[in-house]
Amino acid sequence: MIPRYSRPDMVKIWEPENRFRIWFEIEAHATDALAQIGVVPASAAQALWTWWATNPVIDVAAIDAIEAVTKHDVIAFLTWVAEQVGEEARFMHQGMTSSDVLDTCLAVQLTQATDLLLADMDALLAAIKNRAMEHKFTPTIGRSHGIHAEPITFGMKLAQAYAEFSRGRARLVAARAEIATCAISGAVGTFANIDPKIEAHVAAKLGLAVEPVSTQVIPRDRHAMYFATLGVIASSIERLATEVRHLQRTEVLEAEEYFALGQKGSSAMPHKRNPILTENLTGLARMVRGYVTPALENVALWHERDISHSSVERYIGPDATITLDFALGRLTGVIDKLLIYPDRMQKNLDRMGGLVHSQRVLLALTQAGISREDSYRIVQRNAMKVWESDGAESLMELLKADPDVTAKMTATEIEDRFNLDYHFKHIDTVFDRVFG
């Protein structure tokens, strides 16, 4: 992942040193368990942990140099460790296969990454909730098909986002549980050369569950679901980012990204204030979703194992989690500092001469005894005059002058149907459902 869209804590999880440290812990815990059942001498496990206690520097370059000869990353690592530990290191990896180390390590890295993503989600949810409460009753126009529909509040817009990201967080928790499995089952997963007790011991030490049945690899449907979950969260990011982008358009300008002192929006036009952060988030969401299809295609491996998935995961594991971590952090900042303009929201609400209240008049006429078809026709013919005047005409005044309407409704009754507060009487109910 390029540094521009990376944050240090997530990057560290995918650095070679962290991977090799996890590999060592897998091997050392397995050697411990092997010693407990008498397969290897206790001195072998002790030698490994004694060396580890010195907090050795992992010489990545040296391991890479060995791999350049062996063409095998796990063998290169084991060879390097043996050079550091000495004779007792020959008891490492007894009955294990490379996938035992690689797949279990990936599970650890993905759980570490997910813990950071969950913290990111919590920060984003807190920011959204704060702004939702701030604008719980700030009137704005609800739009369908991009066209003025009926009044809503800006807080409710944000409550929708909060509920969506809450679902995303729940899915991420489930994905973490699904991905956090350990396989130390040997070649083709039969435990022929290693006792299942070893797997259980390593799993417990690493905070993982035992994989119920593996081939030579952990089944990749788990990983497919994990990356699909990241893709859904990325889509939620894009949905909220797209909302901000639309609201920042000059013709709308109900909200906009914070524009810092000294910031410049265009190399050519000094007046520009562009939604660059949310446009960036839209692009980053596309990237995260782009990793979902390769993860799905990794499910179908040949027989008990091939490595067609391996190169894919070396890309998508780091890139998807690093990108999503960055995007969640960026979106949190956007929402926390979002500039919100209630006066412009009210101006836009009023712009179309009261058309947003047309449904209330329609319903009132039906309740007064006019058929729905005729009620619709009466309201629509007046509404179209307002539409064609670009809001210069007033729907309320036109209705007051329409004999078909005044035959069934008084002027006061008509005016009452244009009460903005009417639309917000259940906002508390929605907020209670969303925020508890």
Residues catalogued as catalytic: 145, 266
Q: In angstroms, rounded to a whole number, what is the distance separating the alpha carbons of residues 41 and 235?
A: 53
Measured distance CA(415)–CA(396) in Å, rounded: 7
Residues 6+ apart with CB under 8 A from 259: 265, 273, 339
- Give residues with Cβ within 8 angstroms of 222, minimum separation 6: 178, 179, 181
The set of residues, in sequence order, having a beta carbon less than 8 Å from that of 128 and lying 6+ positions away, is 158, 161, 162, 165, 335
Helices 308-336 and 98-134 cross at an angle (nearest 10°) of 20
Counting beta carbons within 10 angstroms of the beta carbon of residue 178, is it exposed (0 to 12), middle (13 to 18) or buried (19 or more)?
middle
Q: Residue 423 half-sphere exposure, CB side, CA atoms within 13 Å?
A: 24
User: What's CA 108's distance to the chain center, in Å?
Assistant: 20
Give the separation between CA 94 and CA 92, rounded to whole angstroms.
6
9 and 317 Cβ atoms separated by less than 8 Å: no
Strand segments (E) across 238-390: 255-256, 339-340
Rounded to an integer, what distance in angstroms lies between the CA atom of residue 375 and that of residue 361? 8
268: left (phi over 0), alpha (psi -120 to 50) or beta: alpha
